[in-house]
Amino acid sequence: MALWRGKDKNRELERLAAMAGEASAEAAVSLGHAQTTIEDPVAEPDVVPEEPQQVAAELDGPVDLETSEEAAEQGKAAAEAAEKLVLDEPAPPEPLKPDLTAAAFFDVDNTMMMGASMFHFARGLAARKYFTTSDLAGFAWQQVKFRVGGSEGDVGSPREKALSFVAGRSVEELNQLAEEIYDELMADKIWSGTKALAQMHLDKGQRVWLVTATPVELANMIARRLGLTGALGTVAEQHDGVYTGRLVGDLLHGRAKAHAVRALAAKEGLNLKRCTAYSDSLNDVPMLSIVGAAVAINPDTGLRDIARQRHWEIRDWRTGRKAAKIGVPSVLGAGAVAGAVAAGLAYRKR
């Protein structure tokens, strides 16, 4: 009987992961489309210069032919110099040819950004008195049990409360706060090495998406600020532009990321064998395993071992003891990190 219940739970977890992945892909496409169709400001009409008119000048005395000839020579020399400059200018670069079947997928926490994005977001919200201490403590405890206590088979309370702190808040309000908090706490946390890797793919004409458990609106804002294509993230249920506090499916974590990447590839016509994925976490092995090339960035111990076994490329921007201080245990997940840290901040302020 226990074995049967275990299979049922696994099937339910897989269903929720698939639902989360599909919802994230749909949100990524929708947000990306909305971003590219924002109307540009109306440009001022070009001013058409009037036709030059000959102006007859009245001369009080005879024309100085020597001065006129000198001016003509100077004008001719200037015209020749200008023509030479134009000829010497390098030809403009040819427009970048898009590579429509290849793309790159980047995890965010400890891969693109030092620490966890929800950690920084929660800090910003706590500074704005967004939480009560009891709310934060309850949220943190549920997430710690969910991610650390081995209760992933429980598809009830922890998952339902994962984004309860946004319940009743408008999407517009959270988006505005995300922009502010990014400038305050996230912009200087971006790993320059990872950003350069993302730019390398863009320079090849490939699209680049972030893939993270962070709410998709926050993830999309980070992608936009970095000049990337878009983001796959956790989808929070909305009603009339207001968050309900519930998830659509599950957190975009572990196997849900793999579902999201597959769903996006199907929508965008990507060939996953030509795609590359980057992550720091053992939890992202499902996503790293479905693409043609996998790269471990600042890997935790588990991912480093698997990367070596599978001959995946490893890049680490950290050095020595600094690595241990910067790294956030990936098993906690974004929810636990955000809740626990923000709860600690609020507790210290009491």
Catalytic residue among 60, 109, 240, 250: 109
CA atoms within 13 A on the CB side of 83: 6
Contact 189, 120 (CB under 8 A): yes
pLDDT tens for 275-300 read 999 999 999 999 999 999 999 999 99
Asked whether residue 51 is assigned to any structural domain, the reply reads no
pLDDT of residue 297: 97
Lookup result for tokens 């993230």: 233
- Cα separation of 78 and 89, whole Å? 17
pLDDT in tens, 125-146: 888 888 766 655 655 555 555 4
22 pLDDT tier (thresholds 50, 70, 90): confident
Residue 59 has a pLDDT of: 40
- Whether 337 maps to a domain, the answer reads yes
Q: Where are the alpha helices (DSSP H) in the chain?
A: 2-36, 65-88, 117-127, 133-148, 157-160, 171-181, 192-203, 216-225, 255-268, 285-288, 301-310, 320-326, 333-349
What is the reported pLDDT for 233?
95
Residue 48 lies in a domain: no
Candidate list 107, 250, 280, 284, residue with the active-site label: 107
| Model pTM score | 0.73
Task: Give the residue numbers spanning the domain of 237.
Answer: 12-34+99-349
Which residue carries 């023509």 as its tokens? 83
3-state secondary structure of 294: strand
288-296 contacts at long range (C-beta below 8 A, 24 or more positions apart): 288/312, 289/258, 290/258, 290/261, 290/262, 291/105, 291/261, 295/197
Active-site residue flag, 109? yes
pLDDT tens per residue across span 151-206: 333 434 445 555 667 788 899 999 999 999 999 999 999 999 999 999 999 999 99
- What DSSP string describes 53-67? ---PPPPSS---HHH
Confidence of residue 8 (pLDDT cuts 50, 70, 90): confident
Residue 263 lies in a domain: yes
- What is the domain-level CATH number for residue 188? 3.40.50.1000
Burial 333-349 (b: 16+ CB within 10 A, else e): bbbbbbbbbbbebbeee
- Answer yes or no: is 343 within a domain: yes
Question: Is residue 52 situated within a structural domain?
Answer: no
How many domains in the chain? 1
pLDDT given for residue 155 in this prediction: 39
For residue 107, indicate whether it is catalytic: yes
Evaluate whether 227 touches 207 at the Cβ level (below 8 Å): no
Say what the pLDDT of residue 151 is: 39
pLDDT by residue (tens digit) across 34-83? 665 544 444 444 444 444 444 344 444 454 545 556 666 766 766 676 66
Q: What pLDDT band is residue 17 in, cutting at 50, 70 and 90?
A: confident
Question: Is 46 inside a domain boundary?
Answer: no
* 205 phi and psi angles, rounded to 5 deg: 85, 10
